[in-house]
Amino acid sequence: MRFEALASLVAGGGVVVLSGAGLSTESGIPDYRGPSGVARRHTPMTYQTFTRDAAARRRYWARSHLGWRLIARARPNDGHRAVARLQQGGLVDGIVTQNVDGLHTAAGATGVVELHGRLDEVVCLRCGDRTSREELDLRLRQVNPGFDAVAGAVNPDGDVELGDEQVAGFRTVGCAVCGTGMLKPDVVFFGETVPAERVAHCFALVEAARLLLVLGSSLAVMSGRRFVLRAAKLGVPVVIVNQGPTRGDAYAAVTVDAPLGRLLPALADRLVGGVPVGPGRVGAAPAGVPPVVR
């Protein structure tokens, strides 16, 4: 049973978690490549386009002004809470997330390394001032009274699909401190580099780990996959729990295809308390959700 193998490995402690968008889909936030992202054809905003093209920047803020509220309303799901329980139970030593939704921390986890930043914070690219997204939302509402464009599908990075005519009248705002600085959500856009010290910290966590546990990431981009490659190079076992194959499967000691919001609570129950999970309830995966185990 792969669940038993997973539980046995995690029970030894010294676990570092690397989480991706698949962990947050059960909180209502879609992913790019998993089951909730299959029909999506959205091209994410790049840093170069955002900083160089005023029209593209206006389009981004108009779409994000509506879409980020989905992220703001999202609440941790059972998977997030289970990871926090495993940390509180002394089994998880570090959490690195590729997500920008802040849900690990909201679930009670501590010391979370948010590899790609947080969508609820805004930074001025000129003076470096940081403000909350709530404050920016208020300013945008004030300069865009009556902006009630009908939003289409919400994308994983917290923006929505809008037509050109809906975007045309939207007004952006500059930094409230320096007056002219360009505002950007404090997240790493495609084409932008993750701060070197943050990457170094993540590598240090992996290098000190006894086990790297990947949760809900397809590992399609090097930003997350590099930690799997480093673990494999050092002989640190890798376990991957994800719905669908990943680009890290070849390096994994165990791979499990199952809904994280059901498997992770069962794992936490088994290892750190709660309702005991017997063979009749879990087997290779939570009851009622027989995973394809590779």
Residue 287 has pLDDT above 50, yes or no: no
Give the span between the Cα atoms of 158 and 164, in whole angstroms: 18
Encode pLDDT of 192-206 as tens digits.
Answer: 999 999 999 999 999
The structure tokens 């390394």 sit at: 113
Give the span between the Cα atoms of 255 and 125, in whole angstroms: 41
Q: Which residues touch 200 (CB under 8 Å, ≥6 apart)?
A: none
Instruction: Return the pLDDT at 187.
Output: 94
Give the span between the Cα atoms of 207 and 150, in whole angstroms: 47
Extents of the domains making up the chain: 2-272
Average pLDDT for 267-286: 54
- For domain 2-272, the CATH superfamily is TPP-binding domain (3.40.50.1220)
Give the span between the Cα atoms of 266 and 88, in whole angstroms: 16
Q: Where are the beta strands (DSSP E) in the chain?
A: 15-19, 92-97, 113-114, 117-124, 130-132, 183-187, 211-215, 238-241, 254-256
Instruction: Return the pLDDT at 29.
Output: 87
Instruction: Return the pLDDT at 45.
Output: 84
Q: Which of 210, 259, 220, 10 is nearest to 98 (CA)?
A: 220
| Helix H or strand E segment including 56 | helix 54-73
Write the DSSP assignment of 234-265 as a string of letters. Answer: HT--EEEE-SS--TTGGG-SEEE-S-HHHHHH
| Annotated binding-site members for Zn(2+) | 124, 127, 175, 178
Cβ contact 55:251 at 8 Å: no
Residue 271 has pLDDT above 90, yes or no: yes
Residue 289 has pLDDT above 90, yes or no: no
Residue 94 has pLDDT above 90, yes or no: yes
Residue 46's pLDDT band (boundaries 50, 70, 90)?
Answer: very high
Residue 293 has pLDDT above 60, yes or no: no
Give the span between the Cα atoms of 55 and 8, in whole angstroms: 53
Give the span between the Cα atoms of 131 and 252, in whole angstroms: 40
For 183-204, letters b (16+ CB in 10 Å) and e give bbbbbbbeebeeeeebbeebee
Average pLDDT over the chain, rounded to an integer: 86
80 is annotated as an active-site residue = no
Residue 292's pLDDT band (boundaries 50, 70, 90)?
Answer: very low
Instruction: Return the pLDDT at 277.
Output: 32
Instruction: Return the pLDDT at 98.
Output: 96
| Annotated binding-site members for NAD(+) | 98-101, 216-218, 242-244, 260
Average pLDDT for 259-281: 74
Instruction: Return the pLDDT at 275.
Output: 35
Residue 146 has pLDDT above 70, yes or no: yes
| Annotated binding-site members | 98-101, 124, 127, 175, 178, 216-218, 242-244, 260
Encode pLDDT of 4-44 as tens digits.
Answer: 999 999 999 999 999 999 999 999 887 765 554 444 455 67
Residue 89 has pLDDT above 80, yes or no: yes
Give the span between the Cα atoms of 242 and 35, in whole angstroms: 10
Instruction: Return the pLDDT at 68.
Output: 84
CA 80 from chain centre, in angstroms, equals: 11
Give the span between the Cα atoms of 139 and 19, in whole angstroms: 33
Encode pLDDT of 172-191 as tens digits.
Answer: 999 999 998 999 999 999 88
Instruction: Return the pLDDT at 70.
Output: 77
Instruction: Return the pLDDT at 158.
Output: 59
Cβ contact 63:87 at 8 Å: no
User: What proportion of the chain, given as a percentage, has pLDDT over 90?
Assistant: 72
Write down the catalytic residue from 65, 80, 104, 116: 116
